[in-house]
Structure 1
Amino acid sequence: MATVKFIIQSKKPSAVIYVRFSIGSNQVYKRKTRETVNPENWNAKKGGVVQRTALTREALQNQTEQINTLTKLESFILEQYRKRNETEIINGDWLAEIIDAYYSGGRKIERLDFIENYLEHYKTDILPFRKYKGKPITKGTRQKHLTIVDKFQEFLKTEKKRLKVSDYNISAGNRFVTFLRGQNLSDNTVGKYLKYTKTIFKDAKIDNIEVHDQLSEIKGFTVDTPTPYLKPEELQRIQELLIVNEKLEQTRDWLIIGCYTGQRASDLFRMTPEKFVTINGKEFINLSQKKTKTPVLVPIHTEVKKILDKRKGFFPAQFSINLESAKTIFNENLKKICKLAGIDRPEYGRVYDEVKKHYVFGNYPLHDLVSSHICRRTFATMYYSKIPTAIIMSVTGHRTETEFLGYIGIDNSTLSEQMYSYWEQLDHKENKDDLVIKNVN
C-alpha cells in the first residue's frame, strides 16, 4: 500500500519539508517539497504542521494555507501513483517529477496537452533539431516556424476557451485563417502559415500528445499572384533610356543583369567576379541558389558582358549590405526607371495601400507593379519556346516543367494552341521539301 508522510531533517528556523513516499519495505523514496517550516511548529510524530490558535490573523492564514498545501500534495502524489501506466518506473526521480508537477500545474505530458504550452515546447525542444532531407533546417526556415508560432499564440488569445492540441481540427484551422486575414496578410502567406501548422502539431506525437483525427486533412493553399514581365521591346527602351542619376544607372544595370541571368534578387546581389568560371572557353557565373540550394551555371550574355566591361570587370555596387534593404531600394528605383521609360501598359496586379496597410489588387500601369522578381520572370518568358525548356530551367533553377510552366503562366489550353503553330511549321516545311523535289525532277 502506498503511503505519504512529511518529514523535516533540520533544526534551522526554515527547515525544508520532505516527502517520504513508501510503496513497500524496500521501496521508500524521499524528495524535497517547496515548503519550509519552523521546527517549533512541526509535529514529527504526525508528520504535519502543529495547529495553533493563538496566532495573528496573518500567521493563522499562513498556517492554514500550508496545511492545505501539504494535504493536497499528499492526495496528488497518491492519485498519480494510482493513475500510473505500466511503463512508468517508480523511484526517487518519479517522485521529484510528481512534486514538481503539483507546483507547476500538472505533469509535463499533461501541461503539453494545451496548445500554448506545446508551442513553447516546440520552440525550445523540437524546432532546433528539425531536419530536412537529413540536414538541419536553415536559419530562414526556423525563423518562419517561429513567426507562425507567434501568430498562432496571438490567435489563441482570441479564442473563447483554452485549446488543447487535440482541439486543433479543420474548424480551428478555419478560425486561424480568418484571424490571419484580419492581420492584412496576403492569401498566399495565410495559406503557407496554415500548411505549416500541420507540420508543427504533427510533431506532438513525438511526445505522445493526442492530436485530432482531422489534422491530416488541414491543407495549406496558394492563389495565383500576378507577376508581370517586361517584353523585349520594353527592355530595349529601358536599355536605351538616358539616365544621369548614378543610383538609377546602378539599378538599370542590375535589372539588365537580372533579365539576362534569370536569378532571384537574393542570388543576383550575391554575384561577384569570384563566381566566374570558364568551361571550354566560355564564361559562366557559378551559383548555389540561396532559396533552394540548387546549383546553377549561368551563361554570361553579351548584354551582361557589356555592363561588366563598362565597370572594368565588376558588378554594380550593392545598395545595402542587408539583402532586404537592398531589395527595397532596388524595387523603388525600378518603378522610377520604368516610369521614365514609359512602361505604362495596364496590367493586373497588386499595389500596397499605405492607408489600409495591405495589398489591393486591380489594374495598374506596369511601372507601379515592377519589383525585383520581374527579372527572373522576364528571362523565363522571353526565352520560352525559343530555347528548349529544359535549358531555361537549368538557369532559373525550376525543378519540374510543370512548375516552370505555371511560373510563366502557361496552361494546357495555351500548350494546345501552340500545337497549331508547330503543325503549321511542319506543313510549311513539308510543302517546301516537296517543292524542292519537284524542281529537281
Structure 2
Amino acid sequence: MIQKVRFILKNPKSKTRTAIYMLFAWGYRDEKGRYKPLKYPTGQSINPKAWDGQRTTGPYSAHINNELDKVKTEAVSIFLSLRDDDLTPAILKSELDIKLGRVEAKAVPVRKNEYVSEYIDKYIADIVSGDRMTFKDPTKKFAPGTIRNFKSFRSKFNDYVVESGKHYTFRDIDIVFYRHFSAWLKKLHTTNSTGKTIKQLKMLMQAAFDDDVHTNLNFKKKWFKVVSELVDTIYLDEHEIELLHNYNTSGGHEKARDMFMVGYHTAQRISDWYKINDQNIKTTVNGVPVIKIRQQKTGTQVSIPFIDPRLIALLENYNYQLPKISKDKVNRYIKIVCKKAGISSEKAIKVTSHTARRSACTNMYNARIPIGKIMKISGHKTESEFKKYIRVTDDEVTEDLSTHPFYTRE
C-alpha cells in the first residue's frame, strides 16, 4: 500500500488568492468501488500566479511551503501507523485534525478502575477469590499457573509505570504506548516472553472492555501484535534417556535426575509431577494399570500407561511419595547430570525440566505411535499444536506415512 501526496488549488484560474488542498491517495475505494483519496484543506492560500504546481514561489513562500510540509509529514505519519486497520479518508481526516490542533480534545473524567494498574489489582483479586471465572468456561476457576502469569504481568507493567513516570489509563493504550512498552520489554526479556506479556495485556483490555471500564479498541488492531519466534528447543532420544537412567548418581543430584525421568515417562509438565502417587494409580476395565491426573495448566484429565518397569521402580524407590525439588534446582542440576552421563556438553546445557516432556512426545512420535494417541497422554488439544511442539512439519508427517503398509500395500 503506497501513498501519493500532492497539493492542488481550489480554483487554479482565480485572479485572487485561493485555498491550497492536499490530495492524499493510497488506493482506498468506498463500498461502491469508487476511488476515494482524502482532500484536505491545508489552511494556506496563494495567488495562482505564484504557484508552480506543487510549491509556491511568491511572497511568504517559505512560510507557506513549511506549513504544507507539516501537513504532509503528519498525514504520512498517521497513514503509516494506521494503514493496516481499515483506514478511511474520514478516519485520516479526523486524526489529522487532532494532530494539527484543529479540534480540541475534550477532558474526560477518569472512571473507577480505568487506571490500568488499579484494574489489574482488582482483576487478580477476583480470579484468586473465584469471583471471576475463565473466559472460555464461566464455571471454571483460573488455574494457579495462569494466576502466577497475571501476577508476573502486573510486576512488569508496574515496573514500566515507575520507569516511564506515568500512571496509565486504558485510554492511553495506543500505538505509541505499544511501541514503547514492547521496546522496553525486549530490552529485558526474550521475544517470546515479550509476546506473552503483550498477550496478557490484550486479555486484560478485553476483560476491562467487557466490564464497561473503557471503550478503547486499539488492542484489536493489527499493529497490536503478539510477537513470537521459534526457539532452539532440543529433546533427548531413547539412547540419551538410557544414559540418564543408567547413570550412577552417587555423586549427587539423584532427585533431579529421578524427577526428570518421572517427567519423561509420564510426558507431563513439572507442575504435575508431584500429583503422581499411589492414589492416582487406577486400573482400566481391561485390567491395564494407568496413572490418572488432571493437568494443572489446562485442567485436562489424562490417562498414562503405568507399565514401564523404569517408572514403576522410580515410584517404588520413593514409596510413591515423590521428593520435592524446585524447578530452578531441576533445571540447574539436570544439566550437570546430562553432561556426566555422556550427553554432549552443547546439548546438555540446553536441557531443562520441560525437555523431559518434549523428549517423551518426540520419542513416542518417532516410535510411530499415532499423534492422536500421544495427545491423549500429553494433553495437547490440537494436532497442529502438537506438531509445532515437537517441531514436526506436515511434509515430515506425510513422508512418515508414505512408508506405512496402508500406502505401500506390503
TM-score, with length taken from structure 2: 0.64
Aligned pairs for 1:316-395 (under 5 A) are 317-320=322-325, 326-344=326-344, 365-385=346-366, 386-395=368-377
Q: Given residue 132 of structure 2, which amino acid in structure 1 is its aligned partner?
A: R
Deviation at 1:410, TM superposition (A): 0.4
User: Residues 108 and 271 (structure 1 numbering): CA distance in 2 closer, same or farther, change over 3 Å?
Assistant: farther
Indicate the residue corresponding to 1:292 in structure 2: 298
CA offsets, 1:271-312, max 9 Å, x none? 11121112222211111111111111111132335514862x
Deviation at 1:166, TM superposition (A): 1.6
CA offsets, 1:160-180, max 9 Å, x none? 766442221233112111111
CA contact (8 A) 1:319 1:330 kept: no
Deviation at 1:266, TM superposition (A): 1.3
- The reply to whether residue 283 of structure 1 matches residue 289 of structure 2 is yes
Indicate the residue corresponding to 2:142 in structure 1: 137
Tell me the SS of whatever aligns to 2:241.
helix
> Hey, what's the Cα distance between the residues in 2 that align with 1:317 and 1:212?
49
User: Residues 232 and 390 (structure 1 numbering): CA distance in 2 closer, same or farther, change over 3 Å?
Assistant: same
- The reply to whether residue 189 of structure 1 matches residue 181 of structure 2 is no
User: Residues 409 and 202 (structure 1 numbering): CA distance in 2 closer, same or farther, change over 3 Å?
Assistant: same
User: Residues 123 and 244 (structure 1 numbering): CA distance in 2 closer, same or farther, change over 3 Å?
Assistant: closer
Tell me the SS of whatever aligns to 1:382.
helix
Structure 2 residue corresponding to 1:397, chosen from 350, 355, 379: 379
Deviation at 1:116, TM superposition (A): 4.9
Indicate the residue corresponding to 1:258 in structure 2: 263
Calculate the aligned-residue CA RMSD, in Å: 3.1
CA contact (8 A) 2:145 2:296 kept: no
The percentage of counterpart residues that share the same residue type is: 25
Q: Given residue 131 of structure 1, which amino acid in structure 2 is its aligned partner?
A: M
> Hey, what's the Cα distance between the residues in 1 that align with 2:128 and 2:219?
19
Indicate the residue corresponding to 1:413 in structure 2: 395
Indicate the residue corresponding to 1:203 in structure 2: 207
Q: Given residue 343 of structure 2, which amino acid in structure 1 is its aligned partner?
A: I
> Hey, what's the Cα distance between the residues in 1 that align with 2:384 and 2:320?
33
- The reply to whether residue 154 of structure 1 matches residue 148 of structure 2 is no
Deviation at 1:405, TM superposition (A): 0.7
Bigger CA radius of gyration: 1
> Hey, what's the Cα distance between the residues in 2 that align with 1:164 and 1:317?
47
Tell me the SS of whatever aligns to 1:173.
helix
Deviation at 1:206, TM superposition (A): 5.0
CA contact (8 A) 1:258 1:376 kept: yes
User: Residues 207 and 378 (structure 1 numbering): CA distance in 2 closer, same or farther, change over 3 Å?
Assistant: closer
Deviation at 1:150, TM superposition (A): 3.4
CA offsets, 1:377-417, max 9 Å, x none? 11111110521111111111111111111110001232343
Deviation at 1:196, TM superposition (A): 1.4
Indicate the residue corresponding to 1:178 in structure 2: 183
CA offsets, 1:224-262, max 9 Å, x none? 2232111111112222323324x5333333333322221
User: Residues 303 and 331 (structure 1 numbering): CA distance in 2 closer, same or farther, change over 3 Å?
Assistant: farther
Pairs aligned (count) = 296
Tell me the SS of whatever aligns to 1:384.
helix
Structure with greater strand percent: 1
CA offsets, 1:161-204, max 9 Å, x none? 6644222123311211111122x222222111111112222333
Unaligned runs of 5+ in 1: 1-105, 321-325, 345-363, 430-441
CA contact (8 A) 1:259 1:375 kept: yes
Deviates more, 1:247-256 or 1:117-126: 117-126
CA contact (8 A) 1:168 1:211 kept: no
Q: Given residue 204 of structure 1, which amino acid in structure 2 is its aligned partner?
A: A
Structure 1 residue corresponding to 2:238, chosen from 207, 214, 232: 232
CA contact (8 A) 1:123 1:146 kept: yes
CA contact (8 A) 1:319 1:329 kept: no
Deviation at 1:210, TM superposition (A): 3.8
CA contact (8 A) 1:109 1:207 kept: no
Deviation at 1:314, TM superposition (A): 2.3
> Hey, what's the Cα distance between the residues in 2 that align with 1:252 and 1:126?
35
Q: Given residue 219 of structure 1, which amino acid in structure 2 is its aligned partner?
A: K
CA contact (8 A) 1:265 1:372 kept: yes
> Hey, what's the Cα distance between the residues in 2 that align with 1:161 and 1:316?
50
